[in-house]
Structure 1
């Protein structure tokens, strides 16, 4: 998700330079390669132990990340529009239209049945609520921006259903995210913050507001070109212009909520940074904040503000640096056996069904690492 988000972010920079598109294409190709590699790896895991897939989809921690698979597909479609359509014929435009509606149908089934499993069979305490509980519906949160970017090349007869569908799907994702926001903030008020190494996962809360803000602004800007002149039977006003005048302010209104979650997460991480070790939650530094930047790019473009555009360029540079840092830590973690090693995965306590306090978990991790190094 993070690599795909970087590809989409770089592809719509307001301040460009020679070679920027090439950098974006490199990220996009890398995203596809990583997606195929990870699908192959997890497919091999389930092929070796077919019962693992059922445990995975019911696991109180791992199951939520099934939504990440679908978000990754949406970002590939997004990148295909940005980098593929300009170099291909109209066949790709039609293919993306078909993929959009097929994708929407698939993720609707995921959102219904996965939450059914969670609500019916799993009892998750509110004191353990994390933003990752939003993940089953996260694909809908990126469907709005996907619809907006597809509008640039779709013919009018296809563009109108897509813009309406994107608005509808985004509404579902945003409203469920609001419900989960309430549970998450309740946890922050009544319980402790997540342990230091999992605090980057708090950035997941940035995504719903950020991508919803981007959706309203982008769809609003596209509305005058997509909506028919007398849409909804209106004759006294130009409906597309009204949608634009409403969509942009709503996007600006929502964007600051995303920034607040980002600032809250940043302060929390900085206060305990010295106690952190790498977990896969660190990738949350990238994907949600890429959405925050994309939304601000949309706002800066709508307002034609050079100052906002300059800020988004600086934010993009920071995210590129963070991507390389997290990627390095990820590779190092796998090489050292901190990830994908028996007894070392960050969700070990969930698998064993035994809770550990922060100190005992850290002591256990150090002891296991020393034993592993001794065997090596």
Structure 2
């Protein structure tokens, strides 16, 4: 409790200090801000996947998609302004042991952009957008594969190592963007011509498998850390929901890609029974992975409820939303495949709760900016870097 009082005391002292100019506040605009766009785009994608709809739901989804694009442009402008006005800040952010872990959130936001473009753009556009998404998919896959390898290499060699005792699910974030290539593939494959669809599905399965197995290794380390050192500090516990993401997005990706198999083309022309085997198999594995995601969801939920008195809002709280949008969509996809109204309604109830949490987070983020508990010296993910400069 003493640590908590010190933290609150620091917040109070900062709030009472003289004003920091806008330029100074922008210096603390970190990669973690892209968790906002990940979550907002995830909500739009979740609304599009709804099995129980009403008049105007598609319009609401499109509005949130537009809001997501505005937020994404804003984030790019602000992060670029920070790096332009502070030479060396880009390198520092990419080698910082905490802030650098959230650099992939930018790529995850771009993945959500592609999925939402497929959902809301393709039905209202010509074939040019289908072709553009195909090109962007391959560019995204190549870039995120290089980012995953390069990012982990930097973390291994940067010299600012962290202890295994401080391990959190955020360690899986560098491989998360390339893993979502599978989710993008499951989203865009059904609208692609057969000659393009099969390569996209094969690449999507490969990347989804890569990301999931790396995350599986990380989750093993994470569980070991929890057994040895116990739960993280309450302010970090929202990040525990990140562990829900990999199995959830893998679950929905497997179902989406299996239902987009080009029947009677290429391999499936030579092996017509393969489709009848792969689709039920994809559903079985999706259910296995859904239960795995539910396990981590339960652990994170109980931990956050237990420590709610010492929990205060930060950008990490956006992990209440984004990983769980994948969990909700996976639930809906399983319900669709099993033709279960009960499971579909569970997915719809999860959607209502996630929209409520998303709106709450928007309000809390606006409040945090006003109260100077973010975008303020010593309050954001670059605070360790600030201490090093003072030292």
TM-score, normalising length from structure 1?
0.90
User: What residue in structure 2 maps to residue 191 of structure 1?
Assistant: 229
Unaligned runs of at least 5 residues, structure 1: 355-376
Per-residue CA deviations over 1:92-137 (Å, capped at 9, x if unaligned) read 0000000000110100110011100111224221000011111111
How far is the alpha carbon of 1:190 from its aligned partner? 0.8
- Please give the residue correspondences for 1:147-186 in structure 2 after superposition, counting only pairs within 5 Å: 147-186=185-224
Distance 2:384 2:144 in 1: 29
Match of 1:78 in 2: 115
2:383 pairs with 1:348: yes
1:261 aligns with 2:296: yes
Q: Secondary structure at the match of 1:152?
A: helix
How far is 1:345 from its partner?
2.4
Provide the rounded CA distance (Å) in 2 between the counterparts of 1:230 and 1:100.
21
Query: Within 5 Å, which residues of 2 pair with 1:234-249?
Result: 234-235=270-271, 237-249=272-284
Residue 3 in 1 paired to residue 40 in 2? yes
1:229 positional shift: 5.4
User: Do the aligned partners of 1:230 and 1:239 also contact (CA within 8 Å) in 2?
Assistant: no
User: Superposition pairs for residues 1-376 of structure 1, below 5 Å?
Assistant: 1-122=38-159, 123-223=161-261, 226-228=262-264, 231=267, 234-235=270-271, 237-345=272-380, 348-349=383-384, 351-352=386-387
CA drift of 1:341 comes to 0.7
Q: Report if the CA contact (8 A) 2:268-2:275 is conserved.
A: no
Structure 2 portions without partners, runs of 5+: 1-37
Q: Using CA pairs below 8 Å that are at least 6 residues apart, which structure has the higher relative contact order? A: 2
Aligned-residue offset at 1:227: 4.4
Deviation at 1:267, TM superposition (A): 0.2
Aligned length: 351
Question: Which deviates more from structure 2 when the two are superposed, residues 339-348 or residues 15-24?
Answer: 339-348
Q: SS of the residue aligned with 2:282? A: helix
Cα distance, 1:118–1:47 mapped onto 2, change above 3 Å: same
Q: CA deviation at 1:185?
A: 1.0
Answer yes or no: is the 8 Å Cα contact 1:65–1:135 preserved in 2.
Answer: yes
Instruction: Find the counterpart in structure 1 of residue 26 from structure 2.
Output: none
How far apart in 2 are the matches of 1:169 and 1:351?
37
Q: What is the RMSD of the two structures over their aligned residues, measured on CA atoms? A: 1.6
Matches of 2:269 and 2:321, distance apart in 1: 44
Q: Distance in 2 between matches of 1:204 and 1:352?
A: 28
| Structure 1 residue 228, shift from structure 2 partner | 3.4
Moved over 3 A (4+): 227-230, 232-235
Assess, with a 3 A threshold, how the Cα gap between structure 1 residues 160 and 49 changes in structure 2: closer, same or farther.
Answer: same
User: Quick one: distance in 2 between partners of 1:238 and 1:38?
Assistant: 48
Asked if the contact 2:318–2:361 (Cα under 8 Å) also holds between the matched residues in 1, the reply is yes
Return the alpha-carbon distance in structure 2 between the equivalents of residues 9 and 141 of structure 1. 19
How does the TM-score come out when normalised to structure 2?
0.87
Q: Distance in 2 between matches of 1:312 and 1:147?
A: 22
- Cα distance in 1 for residues equivalent to 2:265 and 2:311: 56
